[in-house]
């Protein structure tokens, strides 16, 4: 829509002039507005997703988690509007990285790694913080339908130092990894009619294999970085141990092992912080379509 970019830039300027306390209030208000705009069908989907995983065993708790998960989009947006305030000098006042020595070792080796990117917590702040900490981060993004919104989000992701590219070919990805980039690939969305079945949140689930494929092809580890908000404009990022396959297994087995281990780590995090995952996404759309026998627990 024409004018979107100018409007978003104006909102950013306004948000950058707010105190942290005022920015938090604005974020909460935007979150409430976002929840009001979510269609009832999408809200029911979120509740069903939660029930089928067993994270909630009744509709009331499922609705509470679904709403809390959606309300955070307001603060997430405001935090991104305030990216111009972040820099290498003040990022440590906002974000603490636990396990940074694991990333430091990979950076020192110059070999790069695959980051299993997720929609947990404030993922935009996570990418910004990793880049400002000095890690060579490449975010593989999908082009947005609204060109002006796409221009804005690409620009703001680049402000902290991320390299942003749209889905590129295998050769380009391999080149970036050889250059020592930390390449972020989404691992928690429905892969459509591709992917492999892997245990996830109590059921076998079609899961994207991109992170595992590149890990096996390049003999590089998959790393996880999961973010949790701890206070007013303060966050902690937890870096997990490197994920690799067992020695001696064939390529197919290695891809399955790595995918299973990524899902296991992500599931543990979601069960710990269920309000911080993107439940509005139709995660099991293609699993239910291709493997209806895997479907269970959703009944609203």
Per-residue pLDDT tens over the stretch 183-213: 999 999 999 999 999 999 999 999 999 999 9
For residue 299, is pLDDT > 60? no
Select the more confidently predicted residue: 176 or 38. 38
pLDDT band for position 168 (50/70/90)?
A: low
Averaged pLDDT score across all residues of the chain: 94
Residue 57 in domain: yes
Q: What is the pLDDT of residues 57-66, one digit of tens each?
A: 999 999 999 9
Query: By three-state DSSP, how is residue 116 classified?
Result: strand
Residue 118 in domain: yes
> What pLDDT sits at residue 166?
79
Q: What is the pLDDT of residues 238-281, one digit of tens each?
A: 999 999 999 999 999 999 999 999 999 999 999 999 999 999 99
Instruction: Extract the tokens encoding 93.
Output: 């006042």
Q: Answer for the pair 185, 210: CB distance below 8 angstroms, yes or no.
A: yes
Q: What is the rounded CA–CA span in Å between residue 95 and residue 133? A: 9
Residue 219 in domain: yes
Listed in sequence order, the DSSP H helices in the chain are 4-16, 20-37, 40-53, 59-71, 73-81, 91-94, 100-109, 123-132, 147-158, 170-178, 210-218, 251-272, 285-290
Residues with Cβ within 8 Å of 75's Cβ and at least 6 positions away in sequence, in order, are 24, 27, 28, 30, 31, 122, 229
Residue 281 in domain: yes
> What pLDDT sits at residue 1?
67
CA distances to 23, 28, 82, 152 from 7, rounded to whole Å, are: 17, 20, 15, 10
Instruction: Extract the tokens encoding 80.
Output: 């991104």
Whether the CA torsion 274, 276, 282, 284 is positive or negative: it is negative
Q: What is the rounded CA–CA span in Å between residue 40 and residue 46? A: 10
Q: Answer for the pair 258, 212: CB distance below 8 angstroms, yes or no.
A: yes
Residue 181 in domain: yes
Q: What is the pLDDT of residues 39-56, one digit of tens each?
A: 999 999 999 999 999 999
Instruction: Extract the tokens encoding 215.
Output: 């890990």
Cα R_g (the chain), whole angstroms: 19
Q: Answer for the pair 235, 75: CB distance below 8 angstroms, yes or no.
A: no
Q: What is the rounded CA–CA span in Å between residue 32 and residue 173? A: 39
Q: What is the rounded CA–CA span in Å between residue 151 and residue 144? A: 9
Residue 300 in domain: no
β-strands 222-223, 113-117 pairing: parallel
Domain count, the chain: 1
> What pLDDT sits at residue 139?
86
Q: What is the average per-residue pLDDT within 82-108?
A: 97
Domain assignment of residue 8, given as a range: 4-294
Q: What is the pLDDT of residues 97-120, one digit of tens each?
A: 999 999 999 999 999 999 999 999
> What pLDDT sits at residue 300?
42
pTM of the model as a whole: 0.94
Residue 288 in domain: yes
Residue that has been written with the tokens 């909630």 in this structure = 56
Residue 283 in domain: yes
Q: What is the pLDDT of residues 115-157, one digit of tens each?
A: 999 999 999 999 999 999 999 999 887 788 889 999 999 999 9
Q: What is the rounded CA–CA span in Å between residue 187 and residue 225? A: 12
């Amino acid at each position: 829509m024409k004018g979107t970019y100018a409007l978003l830039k104006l909102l950013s300027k306004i948000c950058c002039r707010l105190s942290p306390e005022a920015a938090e209030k604005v974020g909460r208000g935007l979150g409430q507005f976002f929840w009001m705009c979510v269609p009832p069908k999408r809200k029911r989907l979120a509740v069903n997703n939660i029930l089928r995983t067993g994270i909630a065993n009744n509709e009331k708790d499922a609705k509470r988690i679904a709403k809390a998960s959606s309300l955070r989009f307001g603060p997430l947006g405001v935090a991104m509007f305030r990216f111009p305030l972040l820099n290498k000098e003040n990022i440590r006042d906002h974000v603490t990285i636990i396990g940074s020595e694991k990333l430091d070792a990979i950076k020192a080796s110059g070999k790069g790694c695959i980051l299993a990117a997720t929609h947990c917590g404030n993922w935009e702040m996570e990418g910004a913080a990793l880049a400002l900490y000095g890690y060579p981060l490449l975010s593989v993004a999908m082009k947005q339908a609204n060109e002006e919104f796409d221009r804005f989000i690409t620009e703001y992701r680049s402000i902290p130092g991320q390299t942003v590219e749209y889905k590129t070919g295998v050769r380009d990805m391999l080149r970036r990894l050889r250059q020592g980039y930390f390449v972020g690939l989404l691992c928690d969305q429905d892969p459509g009619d591709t992917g492999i079945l892997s245990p996830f949140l109590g059921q076998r689930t079609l899961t994207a294999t991109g992170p595992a494929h590149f890990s096996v092809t390049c003999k590089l580890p998959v790393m996880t970085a999961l973010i949790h908000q701890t206070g007013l404009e303060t966050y902690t990022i937890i870096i997990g141990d490197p994920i690799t396959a067992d020695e001696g297994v064939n390529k197919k087995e290695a891809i399955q092992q790595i995918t299973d281990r990524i899902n296991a780590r992500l599931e543990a995090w979601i069960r710990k912080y269920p309000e911080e995952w993107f439940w509005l996404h139709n995660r099991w759309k293609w699993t239910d379509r291709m493997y209806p026998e895997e479907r269970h627990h959703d009944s609203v």
